[in-house]
Amino acid sequence: MSSTAWRITKVFNNNVVLAEREGERAVLLGRGIGYKRSAGRIVPPESIQEHFNPAGAQPPEQLARLISELNPEVLALARELADTASFMCSVKIPDSTVVAIADHIRFAIDRAIEGVEMPNPLKWEVSQFYPREFAFGLQALKQIKSSTGVQLPEEEAVSLALHVVNAQFAQRGADPANMARTTQVTKLLSKTFDVLDSALGGEPIDRESMDAARFVTHLRFLLRRIIDRGPTPHEPEPGMLKLGTKISDEYPVAFQIAGRVIMMLEMELDTETSDDEVIYLTLHIARLMNSPR
């Protein structure tokens, strides 16, 4: 490791700064690390408690902004879960996934406390095709309960498992077949945002915003499910279908846009989707629409 000191490029709050060292940019955490410090100041090594590197093309500012919004205890819990995932699934969990897991835990706990149930249409496929990752998800629920006192529903184990699946795909990115699929998914992500921008009108969605990043995470899960499944639609998730009328009534615009996106995906991938996938996408489009733009 280089002995060159880190120099602050941006302070996000008293405990989170973005810093640079020999061309490397990272998010540094530590109690009081940003207190009364400004861009250009050297970061005392003893003040650094955590160090996060952005992954791939992820803007460092985006990662830093998200970390600054997270409770340090939840972030520490996510790091513990990443260690558990590494052990159970034989995969290296990048810092960006640790932060994504922490962000997911934050919203999952809020939903559980508010009594909001959110069925996951990916449950059967994840439990069948990714048994180690699903086992990790179930174990993660136990660790979250032990740490926070909040019992999350089993559906959250699916989402936590998929964060690990995503990390594995990123790790295998050099494989030509995986690169081809990554390229395909990337193009479909872009086309989805084009549909959203066209349907919403006005100011385009900021594709580098945190809300867009969260939406992309869920959309990647959906795209991989559709691509892996092939031309035959799966058996719809009953729990999600039961929410269909309520969700379409509560979020009519998001439901209409989700239908357009699904139609585009069916044409691009020459496949058929199921009704629960429209509902699943509606929920995440509604959340994206309600975010500041």
Whats the size of the chain, residue-wise?
293
Fill in the DSSP letter of residue 47: G
Q: How far apart are CA 162 and CA 280, in angstroms?
A: 15
Q: What is the pLDDT of residue 18?
A: 94
Band of pLDDT at residue 127, cut at 50, 70 and 90: confident
Q: DSSP 3-state assignment of 71?
A: coil
Q: How far apart are CA 234 and CA 99, in angstroms?
A: 31
Mean pLDDT lowest for which of 25-39, 72-86, 234-248, 270-284? 234-248
Q: What is the pLDDT of residue 171?
A: 63
Q: How far apart are CA 1 and CA 233, in angstroms?
A: 50
Taking only the tens place, the pLDDT of each residue in 66-86 is 899 898 899 999 999 999 999
| Spacing of C-alpha 56 from chain mean position | 15
Q: Which two tokens stand for residue 267?
A: 């044409």
Whether 140 has a pLDDT exceeding 60, the answer reads yes
Q: What is the pLDDT of residue 226?
A: 83
Q: How far apart are CA 230 and CA 226, in angstroms?
A: 6
Q: What is the pLDDT of residue 176?
A: 47
Find the mean pLDDT for residues 51-76. Answer: 85
Q: What are phi and psi of 149, to 5 degrees?
A: 85, 0
Q: What percent of the chain has pLDDT over 70?
A: 89
Q: What is the pLDDT of residue 183?
A: 65
Query: Does the predicted TM-score (pTM) go above 0.85?
Result: no
The type of residue at 81 is L
Q: What is the pLDDT of residue 205?
A: 84
Radius of gyration of the chain (CA): 20
Q: How far apart are CA 54 and CA 133, in angstroms?
A: 23
What average pLDDT is seen over the chain?
A: 85
214-229 b/e with 16+ CB inside 10 Å = b? bbbbbbbbbbbbbeeb
